[in-house]
Amino acid sequence: MKLTGKTALITGGASGIGRATALKLAREGAQVVVADMNEAGGHETVQQVRDAGGEAAFYRLDVTDFQQVEAAVQFAADTYGGLHIVFNNAGIGANKPFLDHDPETYDRVVKVNQYGVYYGMLAGARKMVELGIKGVIINTASVFGYVASPGTFGYHASKGAVRLMSQSAALDLAPHGIRVVAIGPGAVDTPIIQGYKDAGLDSHMARKQMRGQLIQPESIADGVYLLCLDEAHIINGSTVMLDDGFISFK
């Protein structure tokens, strides 16, 4: 278990990629703080971690509130004595044609997907520097940070921003020994694509990947785990594509 003794804070940990990653990191020895607005789902993730023999705690978090993000970071450090991994994974989508896209919807998507990542990077990095920990911050971008798709303007804007924010933060934090990496998942079978499923578009999304199937959250969790390892020290400032070839043949 290569993450024994390390503490990980995971936003959006109540379901999907966040839940799968919490389970994966805990199985590899990490102490995990599951942060999410969904209390029922968050507690369920914690229980699953504990049932598997891992250690986890839940923190109710709205990532659009910087003070709450700071408090979640402090909770992780107080509960487990450190902060080595921050996975800024919380995200939402909105499927609306551009001409029907209202400012309120755009603001909400950007606030969660972009500002939530910024807040997590800032609060997490400050705590790592304070504690003298050379940790890693991982941010969830997307293939939609590279290619366009109809009806998801705000999502594209926010995920494209995550790519460049990760690069910029990596440069500034390198002197402190803190790595910042983004991941670019493809079409993952999580609640965020429910709207596509309802519209019967899930098979269309699956065909965009080399194996012709939706990616399972556990596969993304495996990729995140690898980036957490000390052996991944050379990977910094990059967006690592976890997309089963989605981008490679577009």
pLDDT digits (tens, 9 = 90+) for 92-127: 988 888 998 899 999 999 999 999 999 999 999 999
Supply the pLDDT for residue 96: 86
Type of residue found at 6: K
Q: How confident is the model at residue 206 (pLDDT cuts 50, 70, 90)?
A: low
| Residue ranges making up the domain that contains 47 | 7-186+216-242
pLDDT over 70 at 220, yes or no: yes
SS3 140: strand
Residue 155 annotated among the catalytic residues of the structure: yes
Residue-wise pLDDT tens digits, 48-95 = 999 999 999 999 999 999 999 999 999 999 999 999 999 999 999 888
Could you tell me if residue 166 is inside a domain?
A: yes
Supply the pLDDT for residue 202: 54
Distance CA 42, CA 16 (A): 11
| Contacts within 8 Å (CB) and 24+ apart, 70-77 | 70/123, 72/9, 72/11, 72/33, 72/35, 72/123, 73/9, 73/123, 73/124, 73/126, 73/127, 74/127, 75/33, 76/7, 76/9, 76/33, 77/7, 77/127, 77/131
Supply the pLDDT for residue 124: 98
- State the pTM of this model: 0.94
Could you tell me if residue 12 is inside a domain?
A: yes
Report the CATH number that the domain containing residue 44 is assigned in CATH: 3.40.50.720
Type of residue found at 245: G
Choose the catalytic residue: 119, 146, 155, 225.
155
Distance CA 129, CA 188 (A): 33
10 Å Cβ neighbour count for 8?
31
Count up the domains in the chain and report the number: 1
